[in-house]
Structure 1
Amino acid sequence: MTIPPAVTAARTLIADLVTRGVRDVVLAPGSRSAPLAYAVAEAADAGRVTLHVRIDERAAGFLALGLSKGSEGMPVAVVTTSGTAVANLHPAVLEANHTGLPLILLTADRPHELRGTGASQTTDQVGIFGSAVRFAADVPAPVLSSSDEPASPGVRAPEGAPAPVSEPASAAASRFADLRHIAGRAVSAALGLRSGYPGPVHLNLAFREPLAPSAALPGLPAETAQEGYPKPDPPLVVPAVLEHFGSPALPGDAARTVVVAGDGAGPEARQLAEAQGWPLFAEPSSGATGGPNAIAAYRLLLGSDELAESVEQVVVFGLPTLSRPVQRLLGSPSVTVTVVAPGAGPWPDAARNAAVVLPGVAPAWFEVPAQQPSQFLERWRAAGARAARVLDDVTSDEAVAGGPTALSVARAVAAVLGPDDLLVVGSSNPVRDLELVLGLDGPGPAVLANRGLAGIDGTVSTAVGVGLSAARRGLRTRALLGDLTFLHDVGGLLRGPDEPPVDLEIVVVNDDGGSIFATLEHGALAASGVAASATFERVFGTPHGSNLAQLCAGYGVDHQIVKDIPTLRHALQAPSHGVQVIEVQVPRADRYAESRDLARRVVGASGA
């Protein structure tokens, strides 16, 4: 049997990616990508990969991002056809770039002779993702073997001429060493094996017709490596601690140091804070929340000048983006900032105030003799405990008996979920509300969020991807989203009947608009009369009036509205099957006043 070169190349590439650890492939349908579609479907039928099909490329990209995030950084491939399909991956690529997730983008393209000719669905896809990818290659269309290659390679035969004879699969397989080599480099770059800086990679794959096999395929290429088969580049092992900072000493006054744990910080941030006896300011998606040194409502407590000015040094892990008070602290000229940033990626220093940037944590920093908590730590702990009591008061069932608030919804979600749960939280207010209440009722769930660029793009799709991956680890997934975030990616609910099943509960806090802006300066201007309230409402509040129940019904997704917090807790504790949306309607009109009042109460109770 003979197989077209495009199909053979695609099969070789997919088989190669499987040997290098790719277990999930997300496919958006298209014509030029047909060779890849056949190859992925064949691998899925053989049980070598799990195939996920989505008709919207933006949703496909964020689904892949969620699959990688939920599997703790496994590489996930995304397949698209040419043209605008490729551009629709860009938001997910940017998020993966800034969060260090290994997406492998396989974009089909026209062969070189059709580029720049006005051919349908043809644009310049080379370098389309710019600096957002760790590696990119424009892979030429595979050609016929020399024995049967046409006299003018690359020129299409006249219409009506007999199709050229394709080469045998066995002969073609040996001619794709270069393709396998490129795949190896791509996977190495995606995983950050040499750089310590994982992220998305892009293979732009040109294919000439014919794009489909003429008969049933004979079986997959061998999975085992052949002699000379290129392996991923070996990891470049860099000692976690370099000689120049082998000492446990840090610049500044260690007695007045806090640890800031941003998104993706990891458990080291909490471990260091507890070993050194330092207060911990941990964002929900840091992976470092909880413990005796975690300070509740730290961002509100930083509104106390006395407390904020007591800090002389900050050690930063991860990407802190949630809090303006924290950014002001990191930018203070009186504060020494030390950033721990492994790998070759850029380090977080938005205030351009970092004094030291370290590639890792010195082991000696964790080997501190047991000692009594410092007065500095005790002061922050006491302030955090008083802030927690204020938050408990304003989110108790009695306080919200007249109707739930967004903050009480976040608390109910965090209280119900435990260590065997994953919570995907949306940007804007939900993640900030969760930050204030996480820990009030116990350790709560592991939290994941798209904080690389902190956008609302693709969050439903991300949550679906996390749910699919987490289920393999025996974890249950929920999501906490605002209404605009949900509506922005409502297409992520669309799944075909043959797609892998997923259990996912999505709690949508619906205040009919963008309440995040009410807590910013725009809300202050509207509240003071400087800006017209009608202007604020139209261009920032953006009410939509959408009926979420009808939207969910159109996608075949279960939906329910809950009117109070006890009912919400009950709904979250019940067994879930498939994708379910739980809508909680909350008021938006008083969000500005409520946020300012809460900040005043927390600072007033802090004792500072």
Structure 2
Amino acid sequence: MHELLRSNLNFFWGGVIAETLSQCGIKHVIISPGSRSAPLTTGFALNEKIKTTPVLDERSAAFYALGLAKASGLPVALICTSGTAAANYLPAVIEARYARVPLIILTADRPPELRDCAAGQAIDQQKLFGDYIHWYHELALPNRALLPYMQKSLQQAWRKSLGCGGPVHLNIPFRDPLAPVVDGETWELSDDAIRAVHKETFSKRNVDLDSILADQSSVSRGLVIAGPDISTAPKKYARGVLNLAKALGWPILADTLSPMRHHGRMDEWVIAHYDCVLRDLELSDTLKPSAVIQIGPLPTCKVLRKWLSDLNVPTSIISLSLDNLDPLHRPANYIQASPNDFATHEVEPKRSDFLEIWLNENRKVAERFESAFGACDELFEGKISWLLEKHLPENTPVFVASSMPVRDVEFFWPANDKHFRFAANRGANGIDGTLSSAMGYVEGCGQPGVLLTGDLAFLHDQNGLLMAPEFEGSLTVIVINNNGGGIFEKLEISKFDPPFEQYFATPQNVDLAQISASHNLRHSAPTNWDAFISEIKSLPESGIRIIELKTNRKEDMAFRQKLFKK
């Protein structure tokens, strides 16, 4: 144990917390500066088995941790001081809760005697995040006799976060001293002071694929709907879902955040353009299934959700989570399993007329997009997603901002076998924290990646650029600069100006080249598709660069509507 952690009880306590979480499996901790958290910060910073990253802004720190945890599937820890610092974690905590991303939040706090008495930097931190966390506990004040209790609490935090797939919160009070001043006692990490903490495993219900197939054996007009998933074994996940669909002879409607869109030759099973297909009301009526199997959460697509809500067919939902994953409130049979469980099954592929109808309509849409984009010389936002699939290096991690970028990816990014790893903050569908989340995700994936974002989402989190000097990954940020919120052009309020332009579109008129220069980042602004393609065909090995594409949101919305009406 480092000498500083042997100086007094507080810093010894912080050192044991770090070592215990290290034994549980924590690999990465994001730390924001503060005084009350000094024992925690020092304990983790001096633990050679844990990677620590300092981030000034707690809001950026939390979203950065969120991205890291999405990439690894393992809990990432956050440390901040007392007061309003922890309140800045809330947006990322909400996203983690709904996206089922494991985070362990360690908030330092004033001791009980300094609460509710006008002491500085003291707020009520008890259950600060409410029902958005899976588990909350406040540790006792440091006490050598309570080491076994403290370690058990930390082990429980790890277990709850990993097992439930979401955030947990430990509030940790400290009295002075908040510096490693020597108190004359002997504080040493020995076998008597800390017990080894063993990783715990979680049993999964072993579901036999044959039993699922038997339940659906008489159904020829069925659909498999693969929702967003951040599987750390995407190839295995994709094989499992494909085995299920092949054995049933059903088409797979795959969200763009599902591994199904990007792993394996899926053109004979995966329907990528279901949003456009289902906009034809007469056609959508002929495509109604007689049964549905939903994998994980539903895709966010409003057209699909509205169509499903009007159906009255047997529905099964496959998920390891016991959360309610049906915003349509249909009668459903929950099957606690993972598609990974089906990956090794040998199945006999079946074909059905229903499958062929879906595939034929999907091909028609793909050909329509191919023709329209091939003839499109203007910088249309939607063509960016279409080109990225064609020209990005295989295996690229791709993070997509909520709002219009993720919808364009949903519309126009075809099924492929290029093994892209996709992520977005769609648990709560907000634009906050986009840049910080992408930085964490790409660094966690360990290879050069891309963020596709609009100008408002980028500017909303530009504090994330403060992490650029510490950033160890490679991130190419593609900013669609349409000078405002393009998605609001879809709303009825867009026909009324004022107040639309000032209060909804909210154009910012910010020079992104100057922002890039102030952080010593490379910036480019291609004015044609050939220049853009040359920028994305290869990605830099390290650092952050910004590619800005200036578009016209009103013209782009009209182009989308024309494409869909066809």
- TM-score when scaled to structure 2? 0.90
1:24 match: 28
Say if 1:339 and 1:347, in contact at 8 Å, map to a contact too.
no
2:449 match: 477
Deviations 1:552-588 (A, max 9, x none): 2222222111111211111112441311111111111
Cα distance in 2 between the residues matched to 1:55 and 1:92:
16
Say if 1:296 and 1:385, in contact at 8 Å, map to a contact too.
no
1:127 match: 127
SS at match of 1:320: coil
1:11 match: 15
AA at the equivalent of 1:178: Y
Is 1:567 aligned with 2:504? no
1:381 match: 359
1:506 match: 477
Residues 502-511 or 259-268, more deviating: 259-268
Say if 1:139 and 1:203, in contact at 8 Å, map to a contact too.
yes
Is 1:139 aligned with 2:176? no
2:234 match: none
SS at match of 1:534: coil
| Alignment coverage as a number of residue pairs | 546
1:466 match: 441
1:295 match: 271
Cα distance in 2 between the residues matched to 1:331 and 1:254:
20
Deviations 1:75-112 (A, max 9, x none): 21100011111110011111111111111101000001
SS at match of 2:554: coil
Cα distance in 2 between the residues matched to 1:93 and 1:536:
31
Distance 1:594 1:533, change over 3 A: farther
Pairing of 1:478-557 with structure 2 (within 5 A) = 478-495=450-467, 497=469, 499-523=470-494, 526=495, 532-557=496-521
1:350 match: 327
Cα distance in 2 between the residues matched to 1:494 and 1:64:
15
Cα distance in 1 between the residues matched to 2:465 and 2:204:
42
1:151 match: none
Pairing of 1:141-156 with structure 2 (within 5 A) = 141-143=141-143
SS at match of 1:205: strand
Tell me how far 1:137 sits from its aligned partner. 0.6
AA at the equivalent of 1:239: N
Pairing of 1:307-386 with structure 2 (within 5 A) = 307-309=283-285, 310-312=287-289, 313-344=291-322, 346-360=323-337, 368-371=347-350, 373-386=351-364
SS at match of 2:320: coil
Cα distance in 2 between the residues matched to 1:183 and 1:451:
29
Distance 1:580 1:571, change over 3 A: same
1:111 match: 111
Deviations 1:8-40 (A, max 9, x none): 111100011111111111001011111111112
Deviations 1:456-480 (A, max 9, x none): 1111011111121111xxx321111
- Tell me, which stretches of 5 or more residues in structure 2 are unaligned? 231-236
Tell me how far 1:230 sits from its aligned partner. 4.8
Distance 1:251 1:540, change over 3 A: farther
Deviations 1:299-356 (A, max 9, x none): 1111123432232222111222431111112212433322112133x13111111332
AA at the equivalent of 2:324: W
Say if 1:264 and 1:286, in contact at 8 Å, map to a contact too.
yes
Cα distance in 2 between the residues matched to 1:519 and 1:103:
35
Which of these residues, 179, 183, 198, is aligned with residue 165 of structure 2?
A: 198
Cα distance in 1 between the residues matched to 2:523 and 2:342:
53
Tell me how far 1:417 sits from its aligned partner. 2.1
Is 1:424 aligned with 2:399? yes
Distance 1:333 1:411, change over 3 A: closer
AA at the equivalent of 1:337: T
Distance 1:561 1:296, change over 3 A: same
1:606 match: none
Distance 1:553 1:215, change over 3 A: farther
Cα distance in 1 between the residues matched to 2:347 and 2:40:
55
1:305 match: 281
Counting aligned pairs with the same residue, the percent is: 31
Tell me how far 1:519 sits from its aligned partner. 2.5
Larger Rg: 1
SS at match of 1:590: helix
SS at match of 2:324: coil
Say if 2:80 and 2:86, in contact at 8 Å, map to a contact too.
yes
SS at match of 1:52: strand
1:284 match: 256
Tell me how far 1:547 sits from its aligned partner. 1.1
Cα distance in 1 between the residues matched to 2:335 and 2:502:
46
Tell me how far 1:423 sits from its aligned partner. 0.5
Tell me how far 1:49 sits from its aligned partner. 1.4
Say if 1:108 and 1:207, in contact at 8 Å, map to a contact too.
yes
SS at match of 1:423: strand
2:174 match: 207
1:254 match: 219
Say if 2:402 and 2:426, in contact at 8 Å, map to a contact too.
yes
Cα distance in 1 between the residues matched to 2:13 and 2:468:
28
Cα distance in 2 between the residues matched to 1:248 and 1:441:
27
Cα distance in 2 between the residues matched to 1:217 and 1:294:
68
Cα distance in 1 between the residues matched to 2:308 and 2:509:
40
AA at the equivalent of 1:479: L
1:37 match: 41
SS at match of 1:563: coil
Cα distance in 2 between the residues matched to 1:513 and 1:131:
33
Deviations 1:485-535 (A, max 9, x none): 1111111111264x2522111111111111112224444xx1xxxxx2332
2:99 match: 99
Distance 1:454 1:252, change over 3 A: farther
Pairing of 1:39-58 with structure 2 (within 5 A) = 39-43=43-47, 46=48, 48-58=49-59
Distance 1:339 1:219, change over 3 A: farther
Tell me how far 1:375 sits from its aligned partner. 1.1
Distance 1:316 1:496, change over 3 A: closer
Say if 2:448 and 2:539, in contact at 8 Å, map to a contact too.
no
Say if 2:393 and 2:538, in contact at 8 Å, map to a contact too.
no
Tell me how far 1:226 sits from its aligned partner. 8.1
